[in-house]
Chain A
Amino acid sequence: MPEEGEKEEMVTPGEVLGKAADLKAGKGAYVAPYRSSEIQYVFSSLTGLRHTLTPPSDSPDQRPTVEVIGHKARGAVPEAGSVVIARVTKVMAKTASADIMCVGTKSVREKFTGVIRQQDVRATEIDKVDMHLAFRPGDIVRAVVLSLGDARAYYLSTAKNELGVVSANSTAGETMVPISWTEMQCPLTGQIEQRKVAKVGS
């Protein structure tokens, strides 16, 4: 429902949103000199609604940020520091590969590959980690993106209490119940399996 008094303007690419001296360019906007003059203006680069964000009061730059929100739903892309949900595909001696399925709360449109290295599984005794006692193929893990990684995969880390295996199936095929931060138990057979379990809830 549009609020009365907050008239949000609809803009198209190339439209002038304001002077660069008064506004900062956020998402969907860019700064360029206006025609042949020297003065820098903020232009829109997308079609959508224009929003103005007030700057935080402690920042040195008190210019409001203007951004243009497009209507096309963009699939989420993992960025350094974002929490992702991934499914483990391969477990090897020093690394585990996982397919990233969700970034934050949004699911991805295109598959992204992540890799969890031995030293990023947990925070303590990092060189004594056995990958097969931490993950198995098919496990759903919550991890944080360390960096964009190399050409093949993002680098992920589960080295926090709330990161690690969130859901896993036992060899019997039943969804296991976590017992401690290293063990999960199958409710059907009672078998205990080793995983790096995430601490869910308070």
Chain B
Amino acid sequence: MEFVNPEGLRLDGRRPMEMRQLRAEIGAVARADGSAVFEMGNTKVIAAVYGPREVQNKSQQSNDQALVRCEYTMANFSTGDRKRKPKGDRRSTEISLVIRQTMEACILTHLMPRSQIDIYVQVLQADGGTRSACINAATLALADAGIPMRDLVTSCSSGYLNSTPLLDLNYLEDSAGGPDVTVGFLPKLDRVTLLQMDAKLPVDIVENVMQLAIEGCKAIATYIREVLLENTKQLEYRRGL
């Protein structure tokens, strides 16, 4: 099947190095300490952060750093066929672990000992790249909650179909069977914190595809920073400063 036609356009009309449209909203869940909705094209994800708060399970309490917990779920209506098991299945458990490790490396946990930070991410609409959208939404929600972080973690996926590196795969391109590389990146510190790939990729192409995803991450970081600054300005105006 042709994923990149002779004119260089993909199935949804994008160019190979073009990302889908981004949209972010902060403060969607008023009761949570921090929350955000993040959209990458048709993929829509909501994240809510509670913390730092007292540890519920005293046996897991750590004396020198905060405990970070993460739960990834997909809403029943998020995919074409109604999902029967929204959480607890292997894929959700794996993605929960991945998001937790990525965010834990970025949060300054030593500043909040004996406390707990809960990150809940739910996919409302899935169209490929849910993992990346979840990490971006979690970053926004953590920044909204005022939890100290080293940098904004951003994530983007890339692939390699019809001998072309493609940025930000949607569901059709993802299920084509080609490689799907997900990168988690700290833009200001210039560090990769997450790198996952499924399927196989020749060694000489890996570098290119990963670099493309990193460029996508940098673009997302610029957008996230703008959204955060705009949101903070609005709050300052409302407080009369």
Contact = CB atoms under 8 A, between A and B. Distances in A.
Nearest to A16: B188
A115 to B, nearest CB: 17
A83 B26 CA distance: 36
Nearest to A30: B108
B115 to A, nearest CB: 10
A43 interface: yes
B200 interface: no
Contact of B148 (A2, A12, A16, A45): A45
A28 B148 contact: yes
B178 to A, nearest CB: 32
Interface stretch (B40-48, B64-72, B156-164, B232-240): B232-240
Contact of A46 (B148, B186, B225): B148
A14 B221 CA distance: 11
A128 interface: no
Given A12-B225, A14-B186, A47 B151 contact: no
A15 B188 contact: yes
Contact of A30 (B145, B148, B187, B190): B148
A7 interface: no
B241 A12 contact: no
A71 B53 contact: no
Contact of B241 (A1, A43, A74): A1
A25 to B, nearest CB: 11
User: Which of A30, A45, A70, A72: most chain B Cβ within 10 A?
Assistant: A45
Interface in B129-174: 143-146, 148-152
B94 interface: no
A16 B190 CA distance: 13
Interface in B52-87: 53-54
B33 interface: yes
B232 A10 contact: yes
B153 to A, nearest CB: 9
A61 interface: no
A46 B152 contact: no
Contact of B146 (A15, A32, A46, A49): A46
A102 B142 CA distance: 26
Interface residues of B, number: 29
What DSSP secondary structure best describes chain B's contact surface? mixed
Contact of A72 (B145, B228, B236): B145
B228 A14 contact: no
B203 interface: no
Contacts of B151: 13-14, 43
B188 A45 contact: no
A110 interface: yes
A15 B229 CA distance: 12
A45 B241 contact: no
B189 interface: yes
B35 to A, nearest CB: 12
B34 interface: yes
Nearest to B224: A12
Contacts of A45: 108, 148-150
A48 interface: yes
Contacts of A16: 188
Given A14-B150, A14-B151, A48-B146, 10 more contacts: A14-B186, A14-B189, A35-B189, A71-B232, A71-B239, A72-B144, A72-B145, A72-B146, A74-B146, A110-B54
9 contacts: A12-B143, A12-B152, A13-B150, A35-B189, A45-B149, A47-B232, A48-B232, A72-B144, A74-B146
10 closest A-B pairs (Cβ-Cβ)? Answer: A14-B151, A72-B146, A14-B188, A45-B148, A70-B146, A13-B149, A12-B225, A71-B235, A47-B228, A12-B228
